[in-house]
Structure 1
Amino acid sequence: MSDRLSVFKTYKLFVGGKFPRSESGRVYEVTDSKGHWLANAPLSSRKDARDAVVAARKAFGGWSGATAYNRGQILYRVAEMLEGRRDQFVAEVADAEGLSKSKAAAQVDAAIDRWVWYAGWTDKIAQVTGGTNPVAGPFFNVTSPEPTGVVAVVAPQESSLLGLVSVVAPVIASGNTVVVVASEKAPLPALSLGEVLATSDVPGGVVNILSGKVAEIAVPLAAHQDVNAIDLAGADAETAKALEIEAADNLKRVVRPQPVDWSADPGTDRLTAFLETKTVWHPTGSLGAGGSSY
Structure 2
Amino acid sequence: MSDNGRLGVFKTYKLFVGGKFPRSESGRVYEVTDSKESTWLANAPLASRKDARDAVVAARKAFGRWSGATAYNRGQVLYRVAEMLEGRREQFVREVADAEGLSKSKAAARVDAAVDRWVWYAGWTDKIAQVAGGGNPVAGPFFNLSSPEPTGVVAVLAPQESSLLGLVSVLAPVLAGGNTAVVVTSERAPLPALSLGEVLATSDVPGGTVNLLSGRTAELAAPLAAHADVNAIDLTGADPELATTLEAAAADNLKRVLRPRTEDWSADPGTRRLTAFLETKTVWHPTGSLGASGSAY
The interval holding the TM-score normalised by the smaller chain is: over 0.9
* Residue 261 (structure 1) shift: 5.7
Which residue number in structure 2 is paired with residue 216 of structure 1?
Answer: 219
Cα distance per residue 1:62-120 (max 9 Å; x no partner): 10000000000011001000000000000000010011111100000000001110111
Which residue number in structure 1 is paired with residue 67 of structure 2?
Answer: 64
* Residue 140 (structure 1) shift: 1.2
What SS does structure 1 have at the residue aligned with 2:166? helix
Alpha-carbon distance in structure 1 between the residues aligned to 2:267 and 2:240: 23
Which residue number in structure 1 is paired with residue 22 of structure 2?
Answer: 20
What SS does structure 2 have at the residue aligned with 1:178? strand
Q: TM-score, normalised by structure 2?
A: 0.97
* Residue 129 (structure 1) shift: 0.5
1:242 to 236, 242, 245: 245
1:93-108 to 2 correspondences below 5 Å? 93-108=96-111
Which residue number in structure 1 is paired with residue 182 of structure 2?
Answer: 179
User: In the alignment, is the contact (CA less than 8 A) between 2:170 and 2:265 conserved in 1?
Assistant: no
- Does residue 125 (structure 1) correspond to residue 94 (structure 2)? The answer is no
Which residue number in structure 2 is paired with residue 251 of structure 1?
Answer: 254
Count of aligned residue pairs for this structure pair: 294
2:10 to 2, 8, 26: 8
Cα distance per residue 1:159-183 (max 9 Å; x no partner): 1100000000000001000000000
- Does residue 153 (structure 1) correspond to residue 159 (structure 2)? The answer is no
Letter in 1 for 2:282: T
Which residue number in structure 2 is paired with residue 75 of structure 1?
Answer: 78
Cα distance per residue 1:247-286 (max 9 Å; x no partner): 1111000001312264532111101000000000111112
Alpha-carbon distance in structure 2 between the residues aligned to 1:188 and 1:124: 33
1:78-93 to 2 correspondences below 5 Å? 78-93=81-96
Alpha-carbon distance in structure 2 between the residues aligned to 1:18 and 1:264: 32
Which residue number in structure 1 is paired with residue 139 of structure 2?
Answer: 136
Alpha-carbon distance in structure 2 between the residues aligned to 1:224 and 1:75: 27
What SS does structure 1 have at the residue aligned with 2:30? strand
User: In the alignment, is the contact (CA less than 8 A) between 2:286 and 2:296 conserved in 1?
Assistant: no
Letter in 2 for 1:247: A
Alpha-carbon distance in structure 2 between the residues aligned to 1:115 and 1:6: 32
Letter in 2 for 1:78: V
What SS does structure 1 have at the residue aligned with 2:75? helix
CA RMSD of aligned residues (A): 1.2
1:23-62 to 2 correspondences below 5 Å? 23-35=25-37, 36-62=39-65
Percent of residue pairs identical: 85
User: In the alignment, is the contact (CA less than 8 A) between 1:235 and 1:257 conserved in 2?
Assistant: no
Alpha-carbon distance in structure 2 between the residues aligned to 1:33 and 1:159: 11
Specify whether residues 263 and 221 from structure 1 end up closer, same or farther in structure 2 by C-alpha distance, changes over 3 A only. Answer: closer
Q: Which runs of 5+ in 2 are unaligned?
A: none
* Residue 5 (structure 1) shift: 1.7
Q: Which runs of 5+ in 1 are unaligned?
A: none
* Residue 292 (structure 1) shift: 5.3
User: In the alignment, is the contact (CA less than 8 A) between 1:150 and 1:176 conserved in 2?
Assistant: yes
* Residue 287 (structure 1) shift: 4.0
What SS does structure 2 have at the residue aligned with 1:121? coil
What SS does structure 1 have at the residue aligned with 2:207? coil
Alpha-carbon distance in structure 2 between the residues aligned to 1:118 and 1:212: 27
What SS does structure 1 have at the residue aligned with 2:123? helix
Alpha-carbon distance in structure 2 between the residues aligned to 1:165 and 1:246: 26
- Does residue 286 (structure 1) correspond to residue 292 (structure 2)? The answer is no
Which residue number in structure 1 is paired with residue 173 of structure 2?
Answer: 170
User: In the alignment, is the contact (CA less than 8 A) between 2:169 and 2:266 conserved in 1?
Assistant: no
User: In the alignment, is the contact (CA less than 8 A) between 1:110 and 1:263 conserved in 2?
Assistant: no
Which residue number in structure 2 is paired with residue 199 of structure 1?
Answer: 202
Q: TM-score, normalised by structure 1?
A: 0.98
What SS does structure 1 have at the residue aligned with 2:19? coil
* Residue 288 (structure 1) shift: 2.4
